[in-house]
Structure formats: C-alpha cells, structure tokens
Structure 1
C-alpha cells in the first residue's frame, strides 16, 4: 500500500520537475487570481458609484460578451502564432488596463462609461488568453505527463478561484476598490513575466488525425489562409470527427446541467428545501469544489490510459443519480455528501477528458477546437440559468429532475457510439 501511494504521488508530482511547467502553473494561477480580483473590483466600485445592481449587470455583461464573441478568434490566432506569445501579450495588456483603471479611480474621475469600456476591453483581451492557456500544455510536458499536469493546473485553478475573490474583498475592505485594480494589474504583470520565460517544444502538426468512420479528418489550413477561413477549418475539423463532435455535445450538455443547478439550484436547495441560509449555501459550494479537487488529484495520480468515452458516460450517469438524490434530500448532511461525491466525479473525469483532447487533436488546430468548446459553454450558461430559474419557482425537485434526465440521456447517447466508447 505504501509503495502504491508513493508511486501515485511520484507520478502526480512529476510535471512539477519541469521548469517550464512550474512557470506555466504559476502564471496561470496568477492570471486566475487576477480574474478574481477584477470581478470584486468591478462589482464593488460599480455599486459604490451607482448603488444599482442593474448597472452592475451591464458592466459585467460588457465584459462577458466580448470574451464570448472573440474566443474563437483567439483560438485561431493561437494556432497561427505562439500560444506563449498570446498569453504574454494578453497578460501585459490586462496589467496595463487594470493599472490604468486603478489610477483613474484613485484620481476620483472614474465613471460608469469608463468602467463599461474597461470591462469590454478586459473581456476582449482575455478572450485571447483562455484558448492559448488550454492548448499550450502539450508543448510544455511530454504526452505521458498530460494527465498529472492537467491535475496540478486544475488544483491551481480551484485554489486561485477561491483566493482571488476572497483576497480581493479583503483588499477592498482594508483600502479601496481602485487599489484592488492596481493589485490586479500587478498579478497580470507577474503572469506575463512567468509565461514569457516558458521554453516550449515547437508544435509540429503530425499526420492528419484519422476519423472514427475511416476517413481523414479535415486537413489543417494553410498558414496564409484568412482568419475567417481558419476559423471555418477549425469548426469543420471538429464536426467531421465523431469523437470530437461527441465531446463538444457532452461538454455543452454538462454546462447546461452545471450552470443553473449549481447556482440557482444550490441557492434554492439551501434556502427553500433545507431551510438554511448562506452558511448552507457555502457548504454546498465548498463540497463541490472540494470533491472536484480531490477527484482531480486522484485522477492525475493514476497511470495508464483509461477508456475516456466510458468515463464520460459514467460521469453523466453518476451526475444523473446525484441530481435525482438532490431532488429528494431533506438534510444538509445528505446534500453535502451527495454534492461532494458529484464533485469528485467531475474532477476525476475532467483530467482525462482534457488530456485526450490535448493528446489526440492535431496541434495546428488544437486551440481552435478548444475555443469552440469554450464558446458553446459561454452560450449555454445563460440559457441554463434562465431555465433553471423558471423551474426553481416550483421548488428544486423539478429542476434537478430535468437535469438528471438530460444527463441520463447523454450517458445513453455516449454508450451508443462505438467510436466514442473506444476513445483512450
């Protein structure tokens, strides 16, 4: 038993021995920390200026819409240029932007139109960072280390997503919102410095990936093609391979089931069904994050290449059962344990799903495929929130039941595809 645990720990820590991976991990963590800071800073200073939650919604929308619209552009440029270059330039641009907003805020001349413009610029620049962040890993570590490397990056993501808003709130409480913008700018500047020092292995496109139906996947576009042509080629590449197409569909369905049920649903469950308060809601969210982190670490420590298609189906079925249980529980302890177990499944499968994408998709089109997945998630999240909000008016039971049914159908659909079942 001791030797098994030592072997698992050694495998999980192996990517950390690569200097460029350590820089990537630190840079990504700083970027996500900065994202948390920016959310708190934008929210607090908008409410301080206007006392209007509607205006806050406008400011946050100004940030979200450009990010969603430009993510595929960012993915296409990442496949054309260097992912490291895009991440570096995006980080330094966000540093300058946040620093500028902080200085304007400290001068007392910050207005809502300036905040909206800054939020839009931030979202636009961030759209070039995200696809590059997800696609750079295969050029930093060997393929054998992708799973543990993704696990370590995911843990850093979870920790930063918790610390960012928390520390940002403390900075605002102890000083002022403009200071949070300045600290935010420092985080992004340090992120750019870390990423710029990464030494990557040149990504060379190999043979065109063989599609599961025996044909050839769409060939990678020529370097001289226009941006729109490259975006279309990336979309064609993804849709012509049934395995990639299935992953995109499953990820979109998962987003539909996550976004609403893990926000509106948890809030309704905590307040209405469990008759609790903000502490109960915090426990549910903590259980989800903690379970996901534990599942990520366990998945990253395992050796071998499991059948990813079967894992995807198992996760959908796992979550379907969890949704059904959440619709019936009447105690906080039962809800906490159920969410913890669901989070474990999400974290465990996520390591292998992303590693499969990074390992099997032609490097010349990888960022575009990842950006398509991101855009579908951005589009589905508000739909899920609205529908779950409507269903939750009748209580959390119907909402969890609908999500569970969708997940169960997804599991059946995955299992019905021989190509997806055989994915490793």
Structure 2
C-alpha cells in the first residue's frame, strides 16, 4: 500500500522535474494572481471614485465584453503564431497597461471613463492570453504526462484564484488601491519573463483518429476562425464535449454564485462567513480531486467520467436544494468539488491529446466563448428563481445535469473516449 502511494505521488510530480513546465506553472500562477489583483483594484477604485455599484457594473462589463468578443480571434492567432508567443506579449501588454493605470491613479488623473477604457483594454488583451494558456501544455510536456501536468497546473490555478483577491485586498487595505495596480503589473511582467524562457517540444504529427484540420484558405483571420468552427463541428466527440461544457457551465455559474449566496444568507441563516466556507469547500474539494486524478496511471474512459461527473453534480445539486444545516451543505459542496477536479484532469488532457495542435487554440476558444455566452443567462435566471428560494433553482440544475449524463451515455463515440 505504501509503495503504491509513493509511486502515485512520484508520478504526479514527474512534470515538475522539467524546467519548462516549472516556468509555465510559475508564469500561469503569476498571471492568475495578477487577475485577482486587477479585480480588487478596479472594484475598489471605482467604488471610491463614484460610490456607485452601477458604475462598478459598467467597469466590469467593459472588461468582460471585449474578452468575450475577441477570444475567437485570440485562439486563431495562437494557432498561427504559437501559444508561447501570444502569452508572452499579452503578459507584457497587461503589465504596461496596469502600470499606466497605477501611475495615473497616483497622479490623481483617474476617472470612471478612464477606468472603463482601461478595463476594456485589459479584457481585450486578456482574450489573447486565455486560449493560448489553455493550449500550450502539449508543446511543453509529452502526451503521457498531460494528466499529471494538468493536475499541477490546476492546483496552481485554484490557489492563485484564492490568493489573488485575498492578497489584493490586503495590499489595498495596508497601502492604496493604486499600489495594487503596480503590484499587478509586476506579476504580469514576471509572467511574461517566465513564458519567454520556456523551450517547447518539436511539433508532433496529428493524433491518430483525429479529424484533419482544414489547411486551405486560412490566410485571413475570418477564414481561420471558420476553419476552427468547422473542425469542432465535424467531430461528434468534440461537439458533445462542447455541449456538455455549456450545460455544466450553466449549472455552475448561477447556482455556485447566486445560489451559494442565497443558501448561506437565507436557507442556512448564516452570513458572509458561511458563504466563504461554501466557496472554500468547493475549491478545497476541487484541489483534492485534481491531485488524486493526477496521481492515477493510465487513460480511463473520459466519456464515462463525464457522464459520472454530470450525475455526481446532479445528485449534489438535488441535495443542496433540500439541506437545512451548514455541515451537510459543506460536505455536499466538498464532494461536488472533488468530482469536478478529478474529471477535469482527464477531460482537459483528452482535448489536448486528441485535437490537432494546429487548431487546438481555436477549438478551446470556441469552448470559452460558449461558456461566456451561457454564464450570464445562468446568473440572470438563477437570480430570478432565487427570489422564491434555492430549492427550484438547484432542482433545475439537477435536472439539466441528469439529462446531460443520460445524453452522454447514449453516444457510443463519447462513451469510448479515452
């Protein structure tokens, strides 16, 4: 038993022995840390200038809309120029932008319109970073190490997502919100330096059985985007994965934000501490599931794992609609997070291993855009349903997830995915 655990632990840390992977891990973690800083800085300065939550909504929307609109462009350019190149220059662009905003704030020149413009520019540049970040891994580690590498990156992502806003808030509390922008700039600049030092692997031949990427008529940006869309549509496995991701995003965006807040405040009669515990349980479970998934050898049937995750989350959502005490809610959220982290390791690895590298970023960008489109709908719908309690909202989520699981099991192509 001890030797088995030792072997699993050793296997999990195998990618970390490679210098380029360590640089990628550090660079991505710094970038996500910077994202957390920028969220706190933009929010705090906007509220300080305007005392208006409506103005804050506009600033955050100015950041989100360009990111959603330009993600397909970012995915196309990432496939054309290489993910490493796009990550490097977008990181340095974000560093320069955040430094400029911080210096303008220290000089007293910031107003809400400049913040909107800065947020829009940040979202636009970030749209070029995100698809590249999600598609670079197969060019850094061998395909057999993808699950372990994704697990380690996943843990770094979750830790940075938690620490970024927390440390950003501490910097704002102890100094000034404008200083947070400068610290943010340093994070992005260091990310760019790390990525610039990565040495990628030689390009491999397309995976056996993968749909051929369309090469003709890809000289223009529009043609390249259309080629990526056609590639994703031509493979029934990819179509199904995109549909499943949309369903899961719909059942996470609203229920895990509006739902958790309503559950903590009303159903459990708690407060912000209860809400923090729910989010912490979700993140902790996801990190634990990610590590366990990364330690497992072999290639399990990803299609069956996807169906199992949808069913797992359906049961969890159903329970959340019925619980009336905090301990039960935390335990349920913890196991839901574990399932998400565990399956995520193998799902992302399957995408990276099976999609032609010449079109990988474009397919990933399609997945991201679909998520950007579904999330607001989920938030609005859950906000409306939560007015009458969390039961109907979590029940709807459970039904959608159960139907998704059943749909996966009816597809032979998806069931046999490895």
Q: How far is the alpha carbon of 1:221 from its aligned partner?
A: 2.2
Q: Which residue of 1 aligns with 2:273?
A: 279
CA displacement at 1:224 relative to structure 2: 5.1
Pairwise CA distance, 1:225: 1.9
The structural deviation recorded for 1:82 is 1.4
3-state SS in 2 of match to 1:354: helix
1:305 matched residue in structure 2: 299
SS of 1:329 mapped into structure 2:
coil
Shift in Å, 1:108: 0.5
Deviation at 1:240, TM superposition (A): 1.1
For 1:59 and 1:210, locate their aligned partners in 2 and report how far apart those are by CA, in whole Å. Answer: 45
Q: CA deviation at 1:313?
A: 0.2
Pair 1:248 & 2:247 matched: no
Rate the CA distance shift 1:223–1:93 in 2: closer, same or farther, 3 A. farther
Q: How many residues end up aligned between the 2 structures?
A: 418
Q: What is the aligned partner in structure 1 of residue 21 from structure 2?
A: 21
| Aligned residue number for residue 258 of structure 1 | 252
Q: Is the 8 A contact 1:312 1:349 kept in 2?
A: yes
TM superposition shift of 1:271: 1.1
TM-superposed deviation, 1:64: 0.3
What is the CA-CA distance between 1:206 and the residue it aligns to? 2.2
Which of 268, 288, 292 does residue 294 from structure 1 map onto?
288
1:352 counterpart residue number: 346
**Unaligned residue ranges in structure 1 (runs of 5+):** 212-216
State yes or no: 1:203 paired with 2:203: yes
Residues 106-137 of structure 1, C-alpha deviation per residue, up to 9 Å, x if partnerless? 00111111111100000000000000001010
Q: What's the counterpart of residue 136 of structure 2?
A: 136
Correspondence for 2:60? 60
**Maintained 8 Å contact 1:204/1:364:** no
> Match for residue 83 of structure 1?
83
Unaligned runs of 5+ in 2: none
Match of 2:413 among 380, 396, 419: 419
- Work out whether residues 213 and 359 of structure 2, in 8 Å CA contact, stay in contact via their aligned partners in 1: no
Counterpart Cα distance in 2 of 1:404 and 1:26? 37
TM-score (ref. length: structure 1): 0.97
Could you tell me which residue of structure 2 aligns to residue 382 of structure 1? 376
Report if aligned partners of 1:309, 1:420 keep a CA contact under 8 Å in 2: yes
2:331 to 334, 337, 346: 337
Q: Which residue of 2 aligns with 1:214?
A: none
2:215 is aligned with 1:221: yes
1:319 to 306, 310, 313: 313
Partners of 1:203 and 1:357 lie apart in 2 by 17
In structure 2, what is the equivalent of residue 165 of structure 1? 165
- CA distance, structure 1, for counterparts of residue 213 and residue 167 of structure 2: 46
Q: What TM-score, normalized by structure 2, do the two folds share?
A: 0.99
Deviation, structure 1 residue 202: 3.1
CA RMSD of aligned residues (A): 1.0
